[in-house]
Amino acid sequence: MKQFNVPVGYRSPLISAVKQYRKQQDKLKKDDTPTLLDLGNLQIYLARHFGFCYGVEHAIEIAFSTIESNPGKRIFLLSEMIHNPQVNADLLAMGVQFMQDTYGKQIIPFDEIKADDIVIIPAFGTTLAIEAMLQAKGIATTKYNTTCPFVEKVWNRGEQIAEKGYSIVIHGKPKHEETRATFSHASSVAPSIVVNDMKETVELAKYITGENEPDKFYEQFKGRYSEGFDITKDLTRFGVINQTTQLATDTQAISDYLKSVMIRKYQLTAETIDAHFADTRDTLCYATNDNQTAVTGMLQTDADLAIIIGGYNSSNTSHLVELCEEKIPSYFIDTPERIISKTEILNCNWRTKEQQIVNNYLPEKSSVKILITSGASCPDAVVESVIKKLASLYGVEDRVEKLIASF
């Protein structure tokens, strides 16, 4: 896979050594067990896969090279390039201006940009309407487009099934940048609708089967369906695509459920299923899937707690926290500074995004085992800094540097 030029400040000698060692030992990625960092009375287990993914490194390389090669020019980002506070803070410090917040609220009016300005499209992509508006202003969108290739893969798959006459159901968070972009692309080629979770999917299925009155659909799913969507016709033949950072198991469960609904309604067989339901399993992002699978493997280890590192508005990181919380006391942090002391940690609730100090999060025992992973937009350097912060609490920070040579 292509190697990207990512600022050295985001790299970590320790994490790079660990990842390279695991890659050599497990080239086919069949071993999901975590990597043990033995620091004596502190034992840290790193997930098999974590941190920057292909799409994030691709976006970072484009953004930073754009800044470097365009001194004196005004450079804008449509919104946060990725959901990581450090990376976005670095871009702001270099003079980049964000035009919208995470939910699409305007910060800088589009009227203020000119043809000779640079506008970077973030890794989540953008809507066709915004892209057309930028092009109408004479702004080059292709050169500074950091849209993740795996997001574009989802768009392409949507176009492919639309050409075959299928409508599109999108599993995603309706307000998320990526889902808004995917909905824009999907709805331009086929009737489309967004479902947030299984609960909404079950409700949608009731309209497919006729259990719910059609007229109620338009209010219940207001703002989620494409213009002219006809609930009595547009879900007789469809496929499911997804926001790439959703839980892979959730997307698969939603797809499987809707498939079963169609089989029952139309009395379909394995040979006739594609008459009403498209196979779209290949839209699941490899990195999201790898990180989630690695967390499942990591959780097989007997440990005291888990620490998950990443931006608080990062969807893929939140899902890693969700997985961990089901099995073990888990703490969601974005920087090592959230680890206040051996008795206090500032934890973020992944559902509400509220931060609260948790007392006595570390057990009072002679040897502590901690599971660690991070989201796809979290720099390895931040993971290393968290490890060093934990090591300092146990007086074993000198052992961290020695670990590099052991891999």
Task: Determine which one of 131, 178, 200, 384 is catalytic.
Answer: 178
**Separation of alpha carbons 368 and 370, rounded Å:** 7
Beta strands (DSSP E) in 144-232 are 167-171, 192-195
14 HSE (CA, 13 A, CB side): 21
Q: How many residues does the chain have?
A: 407
Instruction: Identify which of 50, 44, 49 has the alpha carbon closest to the alpha carbon of residue 399.
Output: 44
Are the C-beta atoms of residues 366 and 349 closer than 8 Å to each other?
no
For residue 1, give both structure tokens. Answer: 């896979």
Cα separation, 309 vs 318, whole angstroms: 10
User: Would you call 211 a catalytic residue per the annotation?
Assistant: no
- For residue 342, CA distances in Å to 42, 202, 303, 333, 364 come to 12, 45, 17, 15, 10
Q: For residues 21 and 346, is the Cβ–Cβ distance under 8 A?
A: no
3-state secondary structure of 194: strand
Q: What is the distance in angstroms between the CA of the first residue and the CA of the last residue of the chain?
A: 22
Query: Residue 276: which of 284, 286, 287, 264 has the closest Cα?
Result: 264
Q: Which uninterrupted H or E stretch holds 119?
A: strand 118-120
Among all residues, which ones are annotated catalytic?
Answer: 178
